[in-house]
Chain A
Amino acid sequence: MSKYADYDSISKTYDQSRKPVGIEIIMGFLASMSKPLNELVVLDAGCGTGNYAMRLREKIARVVGADFSLGMLQQYQKKFGTDKANDSAVRCDISELPFSGELFDAIICNQSLHHLDQPEDDFANQQKFFEHAYRILKPEGLLIINTITHEQLHDGVWWGRLIKPAVERMTHRFTSAVKLDELLSKHNFEITNRVVPVDTIIQEEGYFNPESLRQQAFRNGDSHFSLLSEAELADVLRQLAELESSGAIGPYIEQREKLREQLGQFTFFVARKRRQA
């Protein structure tokens, strides 16, 4: 469950700016498993409106979506329509995954882990998620995590510096890459790969248009904005207006984008369930 964003409300506009970025990377790792895609059973933990699940469903035998927000799951159901997977949406707290043991060949978790804990919780719920993920994965099953490193939080979007208060707060909700490695190892996962799609932009439509920051629907697609107070958001928009009126916005975005092009916006961590000794 998200500790800071109201996804029942956000669900109404979420798909206007969010697409299943990096799906080809997920599909690639799933295709590399020992079974054919049409025999795999996959859990989408934090499935939201089902953007990833819909694409997975084209090739994968069985996809189950799990999310805390009923509003997001109702959008998920609308997408699947009469598909038999229509019934495969489950409302739950993904830190308490309510599934039988050794059921899934793979679990994908896209941009969801940072919603599980308050900053003072030392990632307790993320750890519970890893415990359950281990329990419900088949032997040597894959856990594919799509998240944002601290470096990407700061410089993965051109407006990162403008929303600095939110970014600073977000760094307490996201694990660092080192911490994630440590927690996965503690819970008997081995990271087998990391992939950064440097040319992929999470909210590609409207990303380069400064006007997007003034649109609530666009901001709803980036939960950083949920961590700004109204006064801080007003200050962000004031800074934006100054950059525009001075003619500096173009060079500003260009300069910031050089960092994004090096760091990328997000990272896939691919972890394999270890056999217990």
Chain B
Amino acid sequence: MIEQELLNMLACPACQGALRLAPSGDELICQAERVAYPVIGGIPILMAAEARRMAQAEALPLSCCV
């Protein structure tokens, strides 16, 4: 789990936009780029090569994110 203070500091490496924690807690999502970055053992992996491109249907409204 990523603590909120750290989450507030992180940004998407592609666009420097805000990231939101997915409800599952194991991905960080950049809605602008429509990519999900993995979180492994509490460590965010903020690298384009490790990111998962999200399907259109996956786009999360802000209220879905914690």
Contact = CB atoms under 8 A, between A and B. Distances in A.
Interface of A: 62, 64, 70, 73-74, 77, 84, 86-93, 96-101, 103, 135
B2 interface: yes
Q: Secondary structure at chain A's binding surface: helix, strand, loop or mixed?
A: mixed
Q: Which of A77, A92, A93 has the most CB of B within 10 A?
A: A92
Given A64-B9, A92-B13, A98-B46, A87 B41 contact: no
A43 to B, nearest CB: 9
A77 B42 contact: yes
Interface of B: 1-3, 5-6, 8-13, 16, 18, 40-48
Contacts of B44: 90-91
A54 to B, nearest CB: 17
A100 B16 contact: yes
In the A-B complex, the 7 residue pairs with the smallest Cβ-Cβ separation, listed nearest first, are A98-B46, A98-B13, A96-B13, A92-B46, A91-B45, A87-B3, A100-B11
Contacts of A101: 16
B11 A99 contact: yes
Nearest to A87: B3
Contacts of A89: 42-43
27 contacts: A62-B5, A64-B9, A74-B43, A77-B41, A77-B42, A86-B42, A87-B2, A87-B3, A87-B42, A89-B42, A89-B43, A90-B43, A90-B46, A91-B45, A92-B47, A93-B13, A96-B13, A97-B13, A98-B11, A98-B12, A98-B46, A100-B8, A100-B9, A100-B11, A100-B16, A100-B18, A103-B9
B10 A87 contact: no
A64 B42 contact: no
A88 B4 CA distance: 11
A92 B9 CA distance: 14
B29 to A, nearest CB: 13
A275 B16 CA distance: 21
A215 B24 CA distance: 45
Contact of B47 (A87, A88, A91): A91
Given A70-B45, A99-B10, A101-B16, 17 more contacts: A77-B41, A86-B42, A89-B43, A90-B43, A91-B47, A92-B13, A92-B45, A92-B47, A93-B47, A96-B13, A96-B48, A98-B12, A98-B13, A98-B46, A99-B9, A99-B11, A100-B8
Nearest to A73: B43
A243 B52 CA distance: 55
B43 A77 contact: yes
B41 A74 contact: yes
A130 to B, nearest CB: 16
Nearest to A74: B41
Contacts of B11: 98-100
Contacts of B2: 87
Contact of B6 (A74, A88, A97, A135): A88
Contacts of B1: 87
Contacts of A77: 41-43
A92 B62 CA distance: 25
Candidate in A74, A77, A87 with the most chain B CB atoms within 10 angstroms: A87
